Amino acid sequence: MANKFIKEVVNQQYPYGFVTAIDSDTIAPGLSEDVVRLISAKKHEPAFMLEWRLQAYRHWLTLTPPAWAHVRFNPINFQEIIYYSAPKLTETKKSLDEVDPKLLETYNKLGIPLHEQSRLAGVAVDAVFDSVSVATTFKKKLAEAGVIFCPFSEAVQKHPELIEQYLGTVVPYRDNFYAALNAAVFSDGSFVYIPKGVRCPMELSTYFRINTAKSGQFERTLIIAEEGSYVSYLEGCTAPMRDENQLHAAVVELIALERAQIKYSTVQNWYPGDEQGRGGIYNFVTKRGQCRGAYSKISWTQIETGSAITWKYPSVILQGDYSVGEFYSVALTNHYQQADTGTKMIHMGKHTKSTIISKGIAAGVGQNTYRGLVRMLPGAQYARNYTQCDSLLLSDTCGAHTFPYIEVKNPSARVEHEASTSKIGEDQLFYCRQRGLKTEDAINMIVNGFCKQVFKELPMEFAVEAQKLLEVSLEGSVG
Amino acid sequence: MMTIHARPLWLRDITEINVNAAIPDWLLKSKLRSWDYLIKSGMPTRKQERFKYTDFSFLMNKQYSLSQQKDLTKLSDFISKCRIKHSNAICLVIVNGVFQPALSDVAQLPDAIKVMTLADALAQDPELLQQQFVNAAPTYFAELNHALFIDGLFLQVADLYQSEQPIHVLSIITEQNDCLISPRHVFMIGKHANVTILEDYEALHANSYLHNVVTHWELQEGAVAQCYKRQHENTQASHYAHSFLDLRESSQFELVNMTTGGIFSRDDVLARLRGVSASCSLSGFYTLKQASQYVDHHIEIIHQAKNTNSEMMYKGILDHSSRAVFNGRLHVDQDAQRVNAYQANHHLLLSSEAEAYSKPELEIYADDVKCKHGATTGQLDENALFYLQSRGIEKKQAKEILMQGFAEEILKRISNPSLLAHMQEIL
Amino acid sequence: MLSIKNLHVSIQDEKLITKSILRGVNLDIKPGEVHAIMGPNGSGKSTLANVLAGREDYQINEGAVSFDHEDLLSLSPEERAAKGLFLAFQYPTEIPGVNNMYFLRTALNALRKQKNLPPLDAADFLSLAKAKMKEVGLDETFLSRGVNEGFSGGEKKRNEVLQMMILEPSFIILDETDSGLDIDSLQMVGRCVNSLRGANRRILIVTHYQRLLDYIQPDVVHVMANGKILKSGDKNLAHELEVKGYGWIESEITS
């Protein structure tokens, strides 16, 4: 008995990654000004942070939750959510043998390496294991380059002046309902700062994966790229992520100064709910990048195959002259999933350029909607936009919809928009089958070809995983 | 909490529905319902998706009264001027929203084409139009027309009749006050019949009236109809037209809309492809040269049956501080398989104050479909301009040649040369 | 042995009206033989080719097809391919975004798997592909393009022959492969198909014109019209047709 108790304690205190001191209180569900104060106090935040949170909260009270025509979900009771709780201690298993074999099967199909599988499944990992030492090496490399990459709450403590300068300047709390909520109660997230002229020495994806703790509900990410710098950041992973929190309302702000480049890739496979659509995650995210300086560039690449409801419009504000915004997306809806996703490209500066490539794949009874805005303001002389949105229908019960908004207020601006909706051609399928490919393989191949333009924008290792992810997500969808 | 809106200022003078004692019961009830709806729902606002970009400022500071019947004798000269030259078109004249058989070429009509005022049609067969009016979609201005319309044109082409003469429906506004004119027209084309109708909108004076038209088209099995609309209302007028198209099996409908008139002009077209193999092609060209001129096309095509095809092609040239809005909604029902649909919208902006808004939408529930849309906004091709100039053509003329080329894609859909010439006159 | 017995096939058009296309086709092709089927438009020859390959738009009303003692009609298209059936399409489809080389390698490896052979890796496949591309007259750049994407008509046909050369099928059906080809391309097709002739291979050429048969000499020529094979003979029959036209056959039958 005593031994078991000791073992448990030892396991609990296992230094897994960079978990901060464990705090054991949780407050009751519900949101009020007191809760906001409590959150800020628990995090020992400076006064300006608390003030910002309170302003956001007060503004949120004046708003009503938005509704879009093509997404249906049960209304969220905001008073039932717990807004602060201690980082959870996941019950650890001793080995992969204790893990649900179906889950392991998925990990194998996705090509996730064994030690990653252990971590994801909650298996206790040996203290001397690779992942810890690898992480240490990365941290050293980044420090040498002057790159700051740490949890948001750490940045508030160590770099308050940067936070105060940039937080909320791209997505102010007034922006929308969920942005206001997030600003009031956000728990944590990532902070990245790349100094002038520095090319971040590695994909922040690799490092991030090893350091991923359980994602919070209201995450806040801020990435600042100073003049002439470059960073490639990847969030998420292909393994299906479950969470008892149903609502995820994150905010991501990107700022690119003159000649800086930020590449932000997302591969998200939130739990989509069972085949009847129950219990899936609602993914409502506000992501925006601002190309502040001339010749700056921000690219959003996303592969969305999960979540019950996806509602996100990564956007770029092209303020600096000659700045460039890009959006590459593959959104898959199967079973009862609903996706209402797209982008906004706001052209303010001269000679600004934006490219939008959106590929929607609808299967099962899913509803897949692209909603995009291209706005050329009066100052956007010689601005250019090219948009291509294509939808592929894989069943006769799904829906694919496209709602682009094109607003042009400058005569020298040029907008070109093309969209098409179709299903996989019978001819194409027959051609592949006559050459010996099974129907399922043929469909995977054709769907891959359909998404190619987007896949090639992903950091390489994830392009391969993304392709596998698509295959796995499409299983059993043909009909 | 329900908000009851006050009657808008511009409707103040219209205190009650002016009904003709002879209308059928169902119509009276329906009109009262529409009036009720208008008062309860209030003016549409920009928060409604349908009216996101619509500028209703033209209604401010106006108080429209209903149009009164006037002396029509002095119109014959004007009508002669408006006729289509070198054509055997049969002219049907509508003055201030009321069909005037006395001023029209009624005698020239073949037996197979029945033409009368809407009031007469209702008197002859009260139930006939009940189905038609049910098909209309409940939007603010369509309901406004329904509540207030007195009359309009009823035209019916018998089964199998192949028309040899185009029908010129000439609408003239002679009112000099700020009036609200609400005609309602019904065109019914019989099985496998064929007809071409040119809808012409002219005005005698330069005052600001609101011409709120609703037209119903019903094409029976195999019917073919071409509608050319020439909108040349005066520069202060406001024109709002709703067209409801009911297309049965294997019918074909073609629309070519040319709009240059009005300070505010909006066309809402709702086409239902209800029968298998029905098809429709809706196109339009608009050129806005006036300050603050606004043109809006809201086109909605609903594919309800298999093997149906549709096309939307709208192009516009905008100058000064004009604004154009295009919203093309393509909806394919789940059972509407083997649909082929194409949608395109192109804008040329000639000034830095012009604004263009484009929203080509696809809402697809079937899977065996091929749907495409494209939209571009830009300016005249610099290379093409230079090419013409290098061949000795002066810049101004070169620009006009290019603009003509831009319009050509729409204009070439009109095969009859005299009709084409008549349409081109307003450009 | 490929044996077609009394095959009756029909199709339903958009208006759901049933049209019968094959009205009792009988045909036997022994290993090592090259057969040609000629006939006017609408005779059903392309339909026969597609039905053999397994296209699902058609209804088989009567008859049977056995391929090496197996019921061919009960197999799916990919199963027939695994058995060695290859159809060179009349109108090869474009598959955008799918790399041509990747497609070819996947098809070949699927076939090798059936035969319990190990798959070819990228490098080995590339050398094989390069060699065959030379024979077919396609530039190496075609490997990196999407399958048939933006290919001209002639290039699409060459791509079909390339696939044939790589997959080395045991029953080749050429569906009007010669339509739209110039002399050089015809010669290439002839050369490549001839190089595949062998004791264990069956070749069925469906064609409208006699030209291709100058390059690929058939052992048996059949004339098809109205969904049936009306007459069979040796290669001289093709020449007679060329001279006398299809009307001659029909009148011969009725007389």
Instruction: Write the residue in A393, A395, A405 that is nearest to B359 by C-beta.
Output: A405
Average pLDDT over residues A22-39: 72
- Confidence band of A129 (pLDDT split at 50, 70, 90): very low
> What is the model's pLDDT at position A476?
64
Q: Is B127 exposed, middle or buried (0-12, 13-18, 19+ CB in 10 A)?
A: exposed
Residue B64 φ then ψ, to 5°: -80, 140
* 3-state SS class at B287: strand
CB of C13 within 8 Å of any CB in chain B? no
Give C237→chain A minimum CA distance, Å.
31
Report the alpha-carbon distance of residue C150 to residue C100 in Å, rounded: 12
Does residue A206 register a pLDDT over 50? no
Give C5→chain A minimum CA distance, Å.
23
Q: Contacts of residue C14 in chain B, CB cutoff 8 Å?
A: 277, 306-307, 338
> Which range (A83-97, B17-31, C58-72, C172-186) has the least confidence?
A83-97
> What is the model's pLDDT at position A274?
65
> What is the model's pLDDT at position B192?
96
Average pLDDT over residues A191-217: 69
- pLDDT tens per residue across span C212-249: 888 899 999 999 988 999 889 998 888 888 888 877 77
Which chain C residue has the Cα nearest residue B250?
C15
Polymer length in residues for chain A: 479
Give A426→chain C minimum CA distance, Å.
9
- Confidence band of A19 (pLDDT split at 50, 70, 90): very low
CATH superfamily, domain C2-254, is P-loop containing nucleotide triphosphate hydrolases (3.40.50.300)
In a mutational test of the A interface, the residue from B306, B363, B368, B385 whose CB has the highest number of chain A CBs within 10 Å is B363
- Confidence band of A182 (pLDDT split at 50, 70, 90): very high
In a domain, B382, yes or no: yes
Domain tally, chain B: 1
Q: Contacts of residue B277 in chain C, CB cutoff 8 Å?
A: 14
Average pLDDT over residues B384-402: 77
Structural domain boundaries in chain C: 2-254
> What is the model's pLDDT at position A4?
40
* 3-state SS class at B60: coil
Does residue A378 register a pLDDT over 70? yes
> Which range (A147-161, B51-65, C41-55) has the least confidence?
B51-65
CB of B309 within 8 Å of any CB in chain C? no
For residue B227, give the nearest of B185, B260, B192, B191 by alpha carbon: B185
CB of C56 within 8 Å of any CB in chain B? no
CB of C57 within 8 Å of any CB in chain B? no
Does residue B373 register a pLDDT over 90? no
Report the alpha-carbon distance of residue A190 to residue A211 in Å, rounded: 11
Q: Contacts of residue A408 in chain B, CB cutoff 8 Å?
A: 347, 349, 355-358, 377
In a domain, B387, yes or no: yes
Which of A19-33, B3-17, B160-174, B377-391 has the largest mean confidence?
A: B160-174
Does residue C3 register a pLDDT over 80? yes
Question: Which chains touch A (3+ CB pairs under 8 A)?
Answer: B, C
In a domain, B95, yes or no: yes
Average pLDDT over residues B268-278: 95
In a mutational test of the C interface, the residue from A433, A446, A464 whose CB has the highest number of chain C CBs within 10 Å is A433
Give C26→chain A minimum CA distance, Å.
23
> What is the model's pLDDT at position C150?
87
Give C78→chain A minimum CA distance, Å.
4
Does residue A128 register a pLDDT over 60? no
Report the alpha-carbon distance of residue A264 to residue A235 in Å, rounded: 8
Give B107→chain A minimum CA distance, Å.
50
> Which range (A44-53, A186-195, A320-329) has the least confidence?
A186-195
User: Is pTM, for the whole model, over 0.90?
Assistant: no
CB of A48 within 8 Å of any CB in chain C? no
> What is the model's pLDDT at position C7?
94
Instruction: Write the residue in A433, A434, A449 that is nearest to C95 by C-beta.
Output: A449
Positive or negative CA dihedral for B145, B360, B354, B420?
Answer: negative
Rg value, chain B, Cα? 21
> What is the model's pLDDT at position C110?
83
Between helix C100-114 and helix C153-167 the angle, nearest 10°, is 30
Strands B194-203 and B167-173: parallel
User: Which amino acid is present at B174?
Assistant: T
> What is the model's pLDDT at position B16?
65
Average pLDDT over residues A189-201: 90
Strands A148-151 and A367-376: unpaired
Q: Is the ipTM of this complex over 0.85?
A: no
Say if the Cβ atoms of A448 and C97 lie within 8 Å: yes
> What is the model's pLDDT at position A478?
54
- pLDDT tens per residue across span A440-466: 888 888 888 899 888 888 877 677 777
Chain A 368-397, CB below 8 Å of chain B: which residues? Answer: 376, 378, 391, 393-397
Report the alpha-carbon distance of residue A150 to residue A152 in Å, rounded: 6
User: Residue A213 to residues A16, A85, A239, A241, B226: CA-CA distances in angstroms?
Assistant: 9, 14, 14, 12, 66
Is B358 within 8 Å of A419 (Cβ atoms)? no
Say if the Cβ atoms of A431 and C93 lie within 8 Å: yes
In a domain, B1, yes or no: no
Report the alpha-carbon distance of residue B421 to residue A18 in Å, rounded: 79
Say if the Cβ atoms of A436 and C163 lie within 8 Å: no
- Confidence band of B220 (pLDDT split at 50, 70, 90): very high
In a mutational test of the B interface, the residue from C12, C13, C14 whose CB has the highest number of chain B CBs within 10 Å is C14
Question: For residue B379, what are its two tokens?
Answer: 């300016």
CB of A434 within 8 Å of any CB in chain C? yes
> What is the model's pLDDT at position B161?
94
Which chain A residue has the Cα nearest residue B345?
A417
What is C65-110 written as a DSSP string?
A: EEETTEEGGGS-HHHHHHTTEEEE-SSPPPEEEEEHHHHHHHHHHH
Q: Is C182 exposed, middle or buried (0-12, 13-18, 19+ CB in 10 A)?
A: exposed
Q: Is A479 exposed, middle or buried (0-12, 13-18, 19+ CB in 10 A)?
A: exposed
- pLDDT tens per residue across span C150-201: 898 889 999 999 999 999 999 999 999 888 788 888 888 889 999 999 888 9
User: Residue A172 to residues A250, B29, B254, C110: CA-CA distances in angstroms?
Assistant: 13, 52, 49, 55
User: Which amino acid is present at B331?
Assistant: H
Q: Is B382 exposed, middle or buried (0-12, 13-18, 19+ CB in 10 A)?
A: exposed
> What is the model's pLDDT at position A258?
96
> What is the model's pLDDT at position A461?
67
In a mutational test of the C interface, the residue from A390, A435, A439, A448 whose CB has the highest number of chain C CBs within 10 Å is A435
CB of B307 within 8 Å of any CB in chain C? yes
Contacts of A313 (CB under 8 A, 6+ apart): A286, A287, A341, A342, A343, A344, A371, A372, A373
Does residue A115 register a pLDDT over 90? no
* Tokens 């070109």 found at: A416
Average pLDDT value for chain B: 87
Q: Contacts of residue A415 in chain B, CB cutoff 8 Å?
A: 358, 375-378
Does residue A9 register a pLDDT over 50? no
Does residue B132 register a pLDDT over 80? no
- pLDDT tens per residue across span C80-133: 888 899 999 888 888 877 788 888 888 888 888 888 899 888 889 999 999 999
> Which range (A210-214, A366-370, B31-35, B412-416) has the least confidence?
A210-214
How many CB atoms are closer than 10 A to CB B348?
A: 23
- String of b and e for C119-136 (b: at least 16 CB within 10 Å)? ebeeeebeebbeebbeeb
Instruction: Write the residue in C77, C89, C94 that is nearest to A433 by C-beta.
Output: C77
In a domain, B329, yes or no: yes
- Through-space distance between the first and last CA atoms of chain A, rounded to whole angstroms: 55
Q: Higher pLDDT residue, B379 or A294?
A: A294
* 3-state SS class at B52: coil
Report the alpha-carbon distance of residue B223 to residue C194 in Å, rounded: 56
Instruction: Write the residue in A430, A437, A450 that is nearest to C97 by C-beta.
Output: A450
Which chain A residue has the Cα nearest residue B366?
A396
In a mutational test of the A interface, the residue from B334, B338, B377, B399 whose CB has the highest number of chain A CBs within 10 Å is B377
Report the alpha-carbon distance of residue B156 to residue B111 in Å, rounded: 10
Instruction: Write the residue in C86, C92, C106 that is nearest to A437 by C-beta.
Output: C106
CB of B231 within 8 Å of any CB in chain C? no
How many CB atoms are closer than 10 A to CB A72?
A: 10
CB of B338 within 8 Å of any CB in chain C? yes
Average pLDDT over residues B137-165: 90
Give B210→chain A minimum CA distance, Å.
27
Range of the domain at B304: 9-424
In a domain, B3, yes or no: no
Q: Higher pLDDT residue, A18 or B315?
A: B315
- pLDDT tens per residue across span A298-323: 999 998 887 778 888 899 999 999 99
For residue B426, give the nearest of B201, B110, B161 by alpha carbon: B201
Rg value, chain C, Cα? 18
Extract the runs of DSSP E, i.e. beta strands, from A27-138: none
Average pLDDT over residues A155-165: 93
Report the alpha-carbon distance of residue C70 to residue C73 in Å, rounded: 9
- pLDDT tens per residue across span C53-63: 988 888 999 99
Q: Higher pLDDT residue, C174 or B29?
A: C174
Contacts of A72 (CB under 8 A, 6+ apart): A338
Is A322 within 8 Å of A354 (Cβ atoms)? no
Average pLDDT over residues B254-268: 93
> What is the model's pLDDT at position A466?
79
Average pLDDT over residues A281-304: 91
> What is the model's pLDDT at position A215?
47
Q: What percent of chain C has pLDDT over 70?
A: 97
CB of A177 within 8 Å of any CB in chain B? no
Does residue A252 register a pLDDT over 50? yes
- Confidence band of A276 (pLDDT split at 50, 70, 90): low
Q: Contacts of residue B352 in chain A, CB cutoff 8 Å?
A: 378, 410-411
> Which conformational region is residue C69 in: left (phi greater than 0), alpha (psi within -120 to 50 degrees), or beta?
left
